[in-house]
Amino acid sequence: MSFDGLPPLREVIDRHELRAKKALGQNFLLDLNLTGKIARTAGDLTRATVIEVGPGPGGLTRALLAHGARKIVAIEKDERCLAALEEISQHYPGRLEVLPGDALKTDFPRLAVPGEPVRIVANLPYNVGTELLVRWLTEKEWPPFYQSMTLMFQREVAQRIVAEPGSGAYGRLGVLAGWRTNARIAFDVPPQAFTPPPKVTSSVVHLVPRAEPLAADVGKLGKITEAAFGQRRKMLRQSLKGLGGETLLEKVGIDPTRRAETLSIEEFVRLANEA
């Protein structure tokens, strides 16, 4: 037996023959200290609906439930994991709902119950995680359907999410995250904490939506940052040529010889609002 009265995770993985599949980015977290730490980082779960993406054999799911998650809705693409998740669901009646399917095709705002806080928690393959994060950051409705996001990324990606202007890691991801949230790296996770171990160190990022982000059209902000950072070594008058170039920059009072990574988020917003 384990801390929660369920069989140890290794036994669950063996019994259900859940050999990790590379194509699904499966690196399972079996370390209870770490899954517990992620659950604590996510904040108060006792009144929240937790949306967990990619529960796999359920290690993090079990930590979230043990830390009092009122209700978890978990989306898992790998059908092999469903029987193991069903065992957890029976152990915590009414608290875990598993939706088999692809998170990239999921309508997340519809999973929220009006008036109840939602916290998103996930240890996902990195490409899926980045794509979902960008979607969640660019939600049309703001404040958005979630109260926080606690997500695992490769450390290099985590550093891009929390990057400040002037740093080499600052780019489109940092502008979007900083525009709409307060984001911080909560802690790093070494490769050997996972089964099988990935090649690089990972980090857990915690993001809380800003109540009132600077007003900007999401589409325009995306286009400006994409063009500016697409040629990050060039001066802005060159990289933004197709979007108004020097005229636009002068209109909003930004020196056209500056480069993208020197611009603050407020300056990007000004450009998006004039473009």
- The residue among 9 and 228 lying less far from ligand SAM, judged by its C-beta, is 9
DSSP percent split of the chain into helix, strand, coil, nearest 5: 45, 20, 40
Among 63, 75, 173, 254, binds ligand SAM (CB under 6 A): 75
Q: What DSSP state is assigned to residue 105?
A: G
Binding residues for S-adenosyl-L-methionine, by number, are 27, 29, 54, 76, 102, 123
Among 2, 7, 16, 25, binds ligand SAM (CB under 6 A): 25
- The residue among 77 and 237 lying less far from ligand SAM, judged by its C-beta, is 77
Region binding ligand SAM by CB under 6 A among candidate stretches 90-98, 111-119, 123-131, 250-258: 123-131
Token duo for residue 244: 């108004």
- The residue among 34 and 227 lying less far from ligand SAM, judged by its C-beta, is 34
Q: What DSSP state is assigned to residue 122?
A: E
Q: Is 29 in the site for ligand SAM (CB under 6 A)?
A: yes
Q: Write down the least CB distance from residue 148 to ligand SAM, Å.
A: 17
Q: Is 235 in the site for ligand SAM (CB under 6 A)?
A: no
Contacts of range 172-177, beta carbons closer than 8 Å, 24 or more positions apart: 172/222, 172/225, 172/226, 172/229, 173/130, 173/133, 173/134, 175/221, 175/225, 175/265, 175/268, 176/134, 176/137, 176/138, 176/221, 176/222, 176/225, 177/133, 177/137, 177/207
- The residue among 80 and 232 lying less far from ligand SAM, judged by its C-beta, is 80
